[in-house]
Amino acid sequence: MTDEMLVLANENKRRAGVENVEFLKGEIEHIPLPDDSVDVIISNCVINLSADKDRVLSEALRVLKPGGRFAVSDVVIRGEMPAEIRQSVLLWVGCVAGALEENEYRSKLASAGFEKIEIEPTRIYRMEDAREFLSGQNIDVDAIAPQVDGKFMSAFVRAVKPQRKEPCCGPTCCQ
């Protein structure tokens, strides 16, 4: 997204001795690649940072080849989260403000055109994970614990761009 990120990525590529990788400057809402050009999209805790997740998912679908895979790790919310709790918890989970609720994530992926959608929790966060940090932030941890405990998770989010359906060649071939 920035020139500094590109310099670092290319330096890491050089150190690793990798030659089959190219880094492009862009934003996930406007991927600088042609339609149907990517086999797999991977991302680690980035989609939750975008203000326009619908655009991100439609761009992902656009650049994926038919049958291409969407395989990301992201912060996901399980169940309803009151707005005031979400803002307080922001102090210990910086990615939470933009995190989607898991059913909303599934719905947005389906609306974009993906299929075979899976959300696999990899870590469910408990209040104990953040108790020490929150205690220094003038937040009554015990008061908010029952409303947020177990509601935030890191998850693998997977989906597939559908294969193109071949055009029917006549009344008998597609039955």
pLDDT tens per residue, the chain (175 residues)?
A: 799 999 999 999 999 999 988 888 999 999 999 999 999 999 988 898 888 999 999 999 999 999 999 999 998 988 887 666 666 666 555 667 788 999 999 999 999 999 999 999 999 988 777 666 666 666 677 777 777 778 888 999 999 999 987 666 666 655 4
Please tell me the pTM assigned to this model.
0.79
CATH architecture of residue range(s) 35-160: 3-Layer(aba) Sandwich (3.40)
Listing DSSP states for the chain in one string gives --HHHHHHHHHHHHHHT--S------BTTB-SS-TT-EEEEEEES-GGG-S-HHHHHHHHHHHEEEEEEEEEEEEEE-S---HHHHHHHTTT-TTGGGPEEHHHHHHHHHHHT-EEEEEEEEEEE-GGGTHHHHHTTT--HHHHHHHHTTTEEEEEEEEEPPPPPPPP-STTTT-
Q: Where in the chain is the domain with CATH 3.40.50.150?
A: 35-160
